[in-house]
Amino acid sequence: MFGELTSDAIEALLHEEIVARIGYVDRRRLPCIVPITYAYDGRAFYGYSLLGAKIENMSANPRVCVEVDRVGNAADWCSVIVRGVFKRLDGSVAIEAVERIAERLRTAAAATAAPVMAWRTFVTRAGGDGIAYRIDITEKQGRYSTSGTG
């Protein structure tokens, strides 16, 4: 059976997961999709990345989409697509965004009894300082499939 997720189910999925895929259009007008770890506050996604193609392209064309899913098997899954607008963050707002992400990753690691290495955040990276960003949500929709056997 297939169906539309309720607003509550969409919110639950977005709050529970920590990995998403962000889709954007690059400067050559080609679609790109990359995985991110994120924090979510009900209105926006928060991310952090080294300066590179993803940040440069989203800065040039800030309309993006984010996909979050949970897959049990080929017949049992749910997925949410969010459309929004990318915004680079600076100053104290950027620090708050990084703290949100770090706390979310620590909480997820603790809840899943992950090894100590997973408790560390990806916020401190070799190669330079990162860029904090927010994706302000303009639209959300979700779908699910269930085999009805579980």
Q: Looking at residues 85-112, what average pLDDT do you find?
A: 81
Residue 91: the pLDDT is: 87
For 47, residues 6+ apart whose C-beta sits below 8 A from its C-beta are: 22, 36, 37, 38, 97, 101, 132, 133, 134, 135
Cα 47 to Cα 49: distance, rounded to the nearest angstrom: 7
Q: Looking at residues 46-70, what average pLDDT do you find?
A: 93
Whether residue 82 is predicted with pLDDT greater than 80 in this model: the reply is yes
Length of the chain equals 150
Residue 9: the pLDDT is: 97
pLDDT tens string 117-130: 554 544 454 455 67
Residue 12: the pLDDT is: 97
Mean pLDDT of the chain: 86
CA distances from 33 to 14, 58, 64, 92, 140 (A): 18, 11, 10, 29, 18
CATH of domain 2-142: 2.30.110.10
Delimit the domains of the chain by residue range: 2-142
Residue 49: the pLDDT is: 87
Cα 146 to Cα 135: distance, rounded to the nearest angstrom: 30
Using DSSP's 3-state secondary structure scheme, residue 36 falls into: strand
Whether residue 43 is predicted with pLDDT greater than 80 in this model: the reply is yes
Q: Looking at residues 36-53, what average pLDDT do you find?
A: 91
Residue 126: the pLDDT is: 47
Residue 101: the pLDDT is: 84
More confident: 100 or 82: 82
User: Can you give the pTM of this predicted structure?
Assistant: 0.84
Cα 24 to Cα 142: distance, rounded to the nearest angstrom: 19
Range scoring the smallest mean pLDDT among 44-48, 55-59, 109-113: 109-113
